A = this chain, B = another copy of it.
Amino acid sequence: MSHNKRLRTYPLTKAKHVKVHGRTTQTRKPLTLFWTGSGIELNIKGSELWIEIEADYQVYEPWISIVINGVPMSRLMVTAGRHWICLLRGLNPDTVKNVRVVKDVQPMSSDSRCLLQIHALKVDGELLPVTDKPLKVEFIGDSITSGEGTIGAKEETDWVPMLFTALRNYTAITAEALNADYRVLSQSGWGVLTSWDNNPHANIPAYYEQICGVLTGERNEALGAFSDYDFTSWQPDVVVVNLGTNDGGAFYSPAWTDPASGKVYKQRLNEDGTFNEEDLQSFESAIVRFLVKLRTCNPAAHIVWAYGMLGTPMMPSIYRAVDAYKKKTRDRNVSVFQLPNTTEETIGSRSHPGLSAHAKAADELTVYLREILKK
């Protein structure tokens, strides 16, 4: 290969006009990407562009997608170590290309060594400013929102990063349809009160105010993952909460015993198969508390509780809880939206919604959000 002598290297701190997507710290030396859908975006006038990226993990390797002019061109595993990855080459040096590098996998709370960082760029031209989109949307959720199962053969059952995507995902599709910047906070298996297996610590609300509090370990602490998030830095127009699916599952899962305290947790079913009312009430109270927190953090946002891609058993509870919150607070900027259920035709891998289920959910959610945003 003949070397491209016009390439120049810039540490991220020196590269102008690199737009960062997703909740992260202020540090750019290097930039740490925590959440799925996070990444960088740039407009390059040049023929060739590389990034220096670093990955680490004990178990779960990160994956990224590379999007050129709005279309995903490449998707790849990032193995451990520090690598230069070529994003594009050989293009007309005089045209401007929009380039995004997107983390395709959620933060892995069970693997404290997971890491994805961007150190530097190499480019043979110039970077031009990236304008913000006219709207901002935040998505909060579980495996559905993490895009688990949106790629891969239907028979795949391993819980591995390869089967997660950020882009074949209702979050990305909705944001693109709305022409919105967006952020995602999601954890597979988690709920608003407990995880699918009754673990009361695996709930998103407890960590909502941190940059990425769902992670663990000293390195993540040192990176600032557990610091308070500055909500003033990015105020969404809409917050979409897609939680409840795992809270529903907890009623059908074995009890969880806290290894520290020995305390046992269980959302109970009545003998006739209905939900225990006391436990249902705990779930509803958790929703109300989370809505209060969301409103505090996002004073002007439309809050939409969107639920239903894997069935709707918790819908009456969600309606009751949102009702209770609204009655209590007189906050009218909160609503419930039912997402379309996944069918045999639209299922993906790991018994999760596939690309077509996400596309359908995005279509319906987009229509709903457009309506809300008119008001």
Contacts from A to B (Cβ < 8 Å):
1-2, 56-61, 63, 68-71, 73-77, 79-81, 86, 88-92, 113, 151-153, 155-158, 160-162, 272, 274, 308, 312, 315-316, 319-320, 322-323, 332, 336, 338, 340-341, 343, 364, 367-368
Closest partner residue, chain B, to A151 (CB atom): B73
Q: A1-B58, A1-B79, A312-B338 are in contact. List 13 more A-B contacts (CB 8 A).
A: A1-B57, A1-B113, A60-B90, A61-B86, A61-B89, A69-B155, A69-B156, A70-B153, A316-B323, A319-B320, A320-B323, A338-B338, A341-B364
Closest partner residue, chain B, to A157 (CB atom): B92
Closest partner residue, chain B, to A58 (CB atom): B2
Please tell me if the beta carbons of B162 and A69 are within 8 angstroms of each other in the complex.
no
Please tell me if the beta carbons of B319 and A68 are within 8 angstroms of each other in the complex.
no
Residues of B within 8 A of A57 (CB): 1
From residue A290, how far is it (CB to closest CB) to chain B in Å? 18
From residue A302, how far is it (CB to closest CB) to chain B in Å? 15
Closest partner residue, chain B, to A79 (CB atom): B86
From residue A227, how far is it (CB to closest CB) to chain B in Å? 26
Please tell me if the beta carbons of A77 and B79 are within 8 angstroms of each other in the complex.
no
From residue A125, how far is it (CB to closest CB) to chain B in Å? 14
Please tell me if the beta carbons of A343 and B367 are within 8 angstroms of each other in the complex.
yes
From residue A45, how far is it (CB to closest CB) to chain B in Å? 14
Please tell me if the beta carbons of A68 and B320 are within 8 angstroms of each other in the complex.
no
Please tell me if the beta carbons of B1 and A80 are within 8 angstroms of each other in the complex.
yes
Please tell me if the beta carbons of A162 and B73 are within 8 angstroms of each other in the complex.
yes
Alpha-carbon distance between A336 and B74 when the two chains are bound, in angstroms: 36
Please tell me if the beta carbons of B76 and A74 are within 8 angstroms of each other in the complex.
yes
A153-B71, A155-B69 are contacts. A1–B56 as well, Cβ < 8 Å?
Answer: yes
Residues of B within 8 A of A320 (CB): 319-320, 323
Alpha-carbon distance between A80 and B1 when the two chains are bound, in angstroms: 6
Alpha-carbon distance between A315 and B369 when the two chains are bound, in angstroms: 17
Closest partner residue, chain B, to A163 (CB atom): B73
Alpha-carbon distance between A274 and B336 when the two chains are bound, in angstroms: 16
Please tell me if the beta carbons of B323 and A68 are within 8 angstroms of each other in the complex.
no
From residue A363, how far is it (CB to closest CB) to chain B in Å? 9
Please tell me if the beta carbons of A73 and B74 are within 8 angstroms of each other in the complex.
no
From residue A105, how far is it (CB to closest CB) to chain B in Å? 12
Residues of B within 8 A of A79 (CB): 1, 86
From residue A343, how far is it (CB to closest CB) to chain B in Å? 6
A-B contact list, 21 entries, CB within 8 Å? A1-B56, A1-B79, A1-B80, A1-B81, A59-B90, A63-B74, A68-B152, A69-B152, A69-B153, A73-B75, A75-B75, A75-B76, A76-B76, A77-B89, A91-B158, A92-B157, A308-B338, A312-B338, A316-B323, A319-B319, A341-B364
